[in-house]
Amino acid sequence: MIYLNENTRCLVQGITGKQGSFHTKQMLDYGTNIVAGVTPGKGGQKFGNVDVFDSIEEAVDETQANASIIFVPAPFAMDATFESIKYLDLVVIITEHIPVQDSLKIMEESRKNNTIIIGPNTPGIISPGIGKLGIMPTHIFKEGNVGIVSRSGTLTYEFASQMTNNGIGQSTCLGIGGDPVVGLNFATVLDEFENDPNTDAIVLIGEIGGNSEEKAAEYIENNISKPVLAFISGVTAPKGKKMGHAGAIIEGSSGTAKSKIEALESVGVQVAQKPSEIVGMLNKL
């Protein structure tokens, strides 16, 4: 597994809110090691057996947390993230609709502090059998040796479900986020999977817009020895059409499904035409 492992000690920012409390319960039920919650003004309260603190600094001092998942509303997400970047190694930003200029500032700050950012606008990360920092339904995942990295939460669920129903488990599944500006990119995650002894094959799920899949293809050619399978959504999307995600916009010949598929296939990546094909492709490896 990558990023989320037995040594991850997580705190939840926004644990007392509607979304935060709902998903914290789901994460705890799955066995995730959540050691603290943070909501300013709510310090001293408890969420089940989890202590709530007013600040990240207090929470880290008391619990040695090293990761955070953020359920803070968009207008306050940048400040919340800045606070977590100061003290933590990994930050998962679930929040949607964060302004692009805020996301740019978040990524700049994270680079200065060597903090890993997953998201924003991500379903999170799950390492089956270890835990999840995210909002994904856990019953569709099972322990195994295939890594999934995706720009789409829904397609992550579809692929994991297809695999699990056919006896193929996953090492880690990670959504990098659907916004134009995100933390982790495909290449960085592919490199982690390449060096992960628990991952034998990788599934990359892309979509129209941007050039992250083309960059991933360049990286795969020179750096990845494990088999990579892929799927690109939005094959029938017309130019200039926005498809769900803010990052899924085609401009000119860049960012089309065709250009992404060609780039991946040119470096030996098998590209599925529909999600249901992935199981057969994995079984042939």
Q: Active-site residues: which are they?
A: 245
92 and 119 Cβ atoms separated by less than 8 Å: yes
Residue indicated by tokens 């050039």 = 211
223 and 253 Cβ atoms separated by less than 8 Å: no
- Residues 274 and 216: their CA atoms lie apart, in Å, by 20
Rg of the chain's alpha carbons, rounded to an integer? 18
- Residues 206 and 211: their CA atoms lie apart, in Å, by 10
Sequential DSSP letters for 91-160 = EEE------HHHHHHHHHHHHHHT-EEE-SS--EEEETTTEEEE---GGG--EEEEEEEES-HHHHHHHH
233 and 206 Cβ atoms separated by less than 8 Å: yes
29 and 14 Cβ atoms separated by less than 8 Å: no
Buried b (16+ CB within 10 A) or exposed e, 244-269: ebbbbbbeeeebbbebbbebbeeeeb
- Beginning with the edge strand found earlier in the chain, give each strand of the sheet holding 143-150 in spatial order: 131-134, 124-127, 170-175, 143-150, 201-207, 228-233, 270-272
